[in-house]
Structure 1
């Protein structure tokens, strides 16, 4: 499936989602937002797909909100899904950002909304909204201080100055730092490693992490107990235990 500004391609059990507006540095307008929302629906609804990789075309991830389109009244948000149709979505399947070039403003926020990030060493991450009289309201001011130390996050948010992929790796903001041009290839390899694991277990991890975020420990354990009760009743748990006992690879059904 593809739209004018967003392309999808299947790579084994992974859906590669590419923002395809290179002349606009893959900035997000209404068309891109709709295309990304549709791509995530495809990922979530197809049981053959286990993970997604989000990237941008021709050497840039995304320059964020298309300011020219916004001035003409276009919204880069999708109701109920947030910026780009991505930043406020509770997904069951893992999504990996593969970042080359610039991931700034909403582009950085798209990456922060993903579960994992692979970045080239010369990528650039930044939230320059304050230089335009705005704030990073697509999740940047909320998520970044939870991912890196407070004062470093505030430096990014208050100065609007970018950091390199290498620096993001030093701060633990990204999972892997790779040579330029290798982010998508490495993200696809990482996605295949995730796809080897039980899909219901992957979804359960994400559900517990969301429930525990900011919650008191007692509430977090209570939420985890509810998720575990459902998980233990699945065929995949029995298959995982049986496969271990029989010394073979498990055959997951997602049931």
Structure 2
């Protein structure tokens, strides 16, 4: 059990690979995920990341506790992305989650950490804790009530009922639903759409949008965002202005 990590041009692909446990995330996988996120952020030639999982019944069943529940307090689930169980890691680069099958508990939460979610038409989302008679870290609850209509989220939380992908699309939880065999290509298409934009501007926009969520509208409007200010005078900003004046497509460098 491990993760896959590959680079193809400006795209990094991170793959959960623990199919015998429904791609649940072990502490060792958490270590590898944190290393992957850190490398993605540190490499200026990576502009977009895609998170997917080995084909099978599930995208991810959350934390793999088959070897015990002690995670040594090393980091949060998902290499830090969820902020549950340890320090939260906020990825600077845009992240696309490509989900299929069962998207359960912490796996559901990990998917919600992405900026874009594309889903196979067999995807089903679960918050199963109360049905199993357990409740622990509550990150999934806080994210669900922020990502879904209130009564839809509370219905899932209080009953453990599943949310089929058709409803997830209707409620705006996912960006697109496609047949299973088109999932990877759809994630790549979304990555290409993002890469058509200036990468540093994309990262600055993500930073401002997410930071502003924790503020009132007035505070968000009055805040200065360092990545936006740092973008001024970059090669890509100048390239964007030149391409507009010359009526051509810009050629971005991420610098």
TM-score by length of 2: 0.90
Q: What are the ranges of 5 or more consecutive residues in structure 1 without an aligned counterpart?
A: none
- Mapped contact 1:92–1:202 kept (Cα < 8 A): no
Question: Are residues 30 and 153 of structure 1, via their aligned partners in 2, closer, same or farther at CA, if it must alter by over 3 Å?
Answer: same
- Find runs of 4+ consecutive structure 1 residues off by over 4 angstroms: 224-227
Between the aligned partners of 1:42 and 1:151, the Cα distance in structure 2 is 39
> Does residue 45 of structure 1 match 2:42?
yes
Between the aligned partners of 1:20 and 1:203, the Cα distance in structure 2 is 28
Between the aligned partners of 2:211 and 2:136, the Cα distance in structure 1 is 26
Between the aligned partners of 2:150 and 2:52, the Cα distance in structure 1 is 27
My pick for the range that moved more, 183-192 or 97-106, is 183-192
1:36 corresponding residue in structure 2 = 33
Question: Are residues 13 and 217 of structure 1, via their aligned partners in 2, closer, same or farther at CA, if it must alter by over 3 Å?
Answer: same
2:159 corresponding residue in structure 1 = 159
> How far does residue 224 in structure 1 lie from its aligned partner after superposition?
4.7
Between the aligned partners of 2:224 and 2:151, the Cα distance in structure 1 is 31
Question: Are residues 69 and 84 of structure 1, via their aligned partners in 2, closer, same or farther at CA, if it must alter by over 3 Å?
Answer: farther
- Mapped contact 1:5–1:21 kept (Cα < 8 A): yes
1:244 corresponding residue in structure 2 = 244
1:115 corresponding residue in structure 2 = 115
1:150 corresponding residue in structure 2 = 150
- Mapped contact 2:6–2:14 kept (Cα < 8 A): yes
> How far does residue 226 in structure 1 lie from its aligned partner after superposition?
5.3
Between the aligned partners of 1:200 and 1:99, the Cα distance in structure 2 is 27
Tell me the number of residue pairs that the alignment of Structure 1 and Structure 2 aligns: 247
> Does residue 200 of structure 1 match 2:200?
yes
> Does residue 9 of structure 1 match 2:3?
no
Q: Which whole-Å deviations, capped at 9, do the CAs of 1:62-103 have from their partners, x for residues lacking one?
A: 1111132334x345x643xx2121223211111111001111
Between the aligned partners of 2:8 and 2:74, the Cα distance in structure 1 is 27
- Mapped contact 1:122–1:166 kept (Cα < 8 A): no
Between the aligned partners of 1:97 and 1:78, the Cα distance in structure 2 is 24
> How far does residue 19 in structure 1 lie from its aligned partner after superposition?
0.7
Q: Say what the alpha-carbon RMSD is for the aligned residues.
A: 1.8
Q: Which whole-Å deviations, capped at 9, do the CAs of 1:21-42 have from their partners, x for residues lacking one?
A: 1111111110111111111122
- Mapped contact 1:78–1:84 kept (Cα < 8 A): no
Question: Are residues 135 and 182 of structure 1, via their aligned partners in 2, closer, same or farther at CA, if it must alter by over 3 Å?
Answer: farther
Secondary structure of the equivalent of 1:145?
A: helix
1:66 corresponding residue in structure 2 = 64
> Does residue 84 of structure 1 match 2:81?
no
Between the aligned partners of 1:226 and 1:108, the Cα distance in structure 2 is 31
- Mapped contact 1:105–1:136 kept (Cα < 8 A): no
TM-score by length of 1: 0.90
